[in-house]
Structure 1
Amino acid sequence: MTFTQDTCCTQTARYMRAAWTASEKITAAKVAVAPDPGFPCESSVDATGTKGLMTCQGLLRGATDYTANLALTTSRGTFSFEHKFKTMGDKLSGLTWFTEFEDARGDPLACAAASVRIVEKYTTNNDPLTATQILQQGQAFNKSRDPGIDPAAIAAMQKKLDARNNYHYYRLPTREEATKSAIYWLVRSGKPVHVISLAGQHDPVLVGFTGTFGTFYDDPANAFSQVIVMDPQRGDMRPETQNHRPDKYRTTGFQTGQPLALDEWYGDEWWLRFTYISPIRMPDGSLLAIDRNDGSYPVPHWAGQFVILVDDADADWPSDKEGRVKWH
Structure 2
Amino acid sequence: MRYTRAERVAQMTVVAVAVVFAVGVVGFLFRGGGPGGPGASGAPSATPATHGPDARITLETCCAQTARFIRAAWESGTRISAAKVTLTPDPGFACVATVDTSSLRGTFGCAGLLKGATDYVARLELTTAAGTYPFEQKFRTMGDKLNDVKWFTEFEDPAGEPLACAAASCRIIQNYTAGKDPLTAQGILDLGRQFNKSKDPGLDPVAIATVLQRMEPRNHYHYYRYDTREDATGAAVYWLVRSGKPVMVISLAGQHGPVLIGFQGTYGTYYDDPANRITGVIVEDPQRGDLSPATQNRRPDKYRTAGFQTGQLLSLDEWSRDEWWLGFPYASPIPMPDGSRLAIDRNDGVYPTPHWAGKFVIIVDDGDAENPPDREGRVRFR
Deviation at 1:109, TM superposition (A): 0.2
Aligned equivalent of 2:147 = 93
* SS of corresponding position for 1:194: strand
Question: Residue in 1 aligned with 2:234?
Answer: 180
Give the gaps of 5 or more residues in structure 1: none
Residue identity in the other structure for 1:33: L
Aligned mates of 2:113, 2:263 — CA distance in 1: 16
Residue 110 of structure 2 corresponds to residue 56 of structure 1:
yes
Q: In the alignment, does 2:135 pair up with 1:81?
A: yes
Other structure's SS at 1:136 match: helix
Partners of 2:282 and 2:380 lie apart in 1 by 25
In structure 2, what is the Cα distance between the partners aligned to 1:176 and 1:110? 27
1:6 aligns with one of 37, 60, 66: 60
Q: Do residues 139 (structure 1) and 193 (structure 2) align?
A: yes
Secondary structure (helix, strand or coil) at the match of 2:369 reads coil
1:110 to 2:164 alignment = yes
Greater length-normalized contact order (CA 8 Å, ≥ 6 residues apart):
1
1:213: how far off? 0.4
> In structure 1, what is the Cα distance between the partners aligned to 2:99 and 2:161?
52
Question: When the two structures are superposed, what TM-score results if normalisation uses the length of structure 1?
Answer: 0.99
2:281 corresponds in structure 1 to: 227
For the pair 1:152 / 2:206, whether they are aligned, the reply is: yes
Is 1:19 the equivalent of 2:73?
yes
- What is the aligned partner in structure 2 of residue 249 from structure 1? 303
Q: CA deviation at 1:238?
A: 0.2
For the residues of structure 2 that align with 1:44 and 1:307, how far apart are their CA atoms?
35
1:187-230 per-residue CA deviation (whole Å, 9 max, x = no partner) reads 00000000000000000000000110010111111112110000
**Correspondence for 2:86 among 14, 27, 32:** 32
Matched, 1:296 2:350: yes
Q: CA deviation at 1:274?
A: 0.4
Match of 1:191 in 2: 245
Q: Which of residues 238, 260, 263 is equivalent to 2:292? A: 238
Q: When the two structures are superposed, what TM-score results if normalisation uses the length of structure 2?
A: 0.85
What is the SS of the residue equivalent to 2:99? coil
* Deviation digits for residues 5-39 of structure 1 (CA, Å, limit 9, x no counterpart): 11100000000001111111111001011100000
Taking the aligned partners of 1:44 and 1:116, their CA distance within structure 2 comes to 34
State the SS of the aligned residue for 2:109: strand
For the residue of structure 1 that corresponds to 2:143, the secondary structure is coil
Amino acid at match of 2:213: K
User: Where do 5+ consecutive residues of structure 2 fail to align?
Assistant: 1-54
CA distance in 2, matches of 1:69, 1:312: 25
**Greater shift in the superposed pair: 177-186 or 42-51:** 42-51
Larger radius of gyration: 2
1:281 corresponding residue in structure 2? 335
The aligned residue for residue 31 of structure 2 is none
Aligned residues: 328
Return the offset for 1:100.
Answer: 0.4
Distance 2:295 2:124 in 1: 54
Match in the other structure for 2:12? none
1:119-138 equivalent positions in 2, closer than 5 A: 119-138=173-192
2: CA distance, partners of 1:116 / 1:5 = 23
Identical amino acids, percent of aligned pairs: 65
SS in 2 for 1:170: strand
SS of the equivalent of 2:320 reads helix
- CA shift, 1:316, in A, is 1.1
Distance 2:184 2:379 in 1: 31
The alignment's C-alpha RMSD in Å is 0.5
Cα distance in 2 for residues equivalent to 1:315 and 1:288: 33
**Equivalent residue number for residue 270 of structure 1:** 324
| Matched ranges for 1:209-220 at <5 A | 209-220=263-274
Select which of 296, 310, 313 maps to 2:364. Answer: 310
Deviation, structure 1 residue 269: 0.2
Distance 2:75 2:211 in 1: 30
Q: Secondary structure at the match of 1:160?
A: helix
SS of residue in 2 equivalent to 1:44 = strand
The one-letter amino acid of 2:358's match is G
What is the letter of the counterpart of residue 206 of structure 1? L
- For 1:261, the equivalent position in structure 2 comes to 315
What amino acid maps onto 2:131 in structure 1? Answer: G
